[in-house]
Amino acid sequence: MAQGLVLINTGCGKGKTTAALGTVLRALGHGHRVVFLQFIKSQATGESRFLESYAAEHPDKLFYSRLGLGFVRDKASEKDLAKASEAMATAEKERDNARLVVLDEINIVLDKGMIPIERVKEFIKTKPTDQSIILTGRNCPKELYDLAHTITEMTDIKHAYREGIKAQRGVDF
Domains of the chain: 6-163 (3.40.50.300)
Instruction: Check residue 113 and give its pLDDT.
Output: 92
Q: Closest Cα partner for 100 from 41, 29, 50? A: 29
Per-residue pLDDT at 168: 85
At 170 the pLDDT is 79
User: Which pLDDT value is given to residue 71?
Assistant: 67
Among 95, 102, 109, 99, CA closest to 138: 109
What is the model's pLDDT at position 94? 96
- Closest alpha carbon to 20 in 148, 138, 137, 134: 134
Q: How far apart are CA 53 and CA 47, in angstroms?
A: 10
Are 104 and 137 spatial neighbours (Cβ–Cβ below 8 Å)? yes
pLDDT for the residue numbered 13: 92
For 87-115, the pLDDT digits (tens) are 999 999 999 999 999 999 999 999 999 99
Query: What pLDDT, on the 0 to 100 scale, is given for residue 117?
Result: 98
Residues in the chain, pLDDT under 50:
none
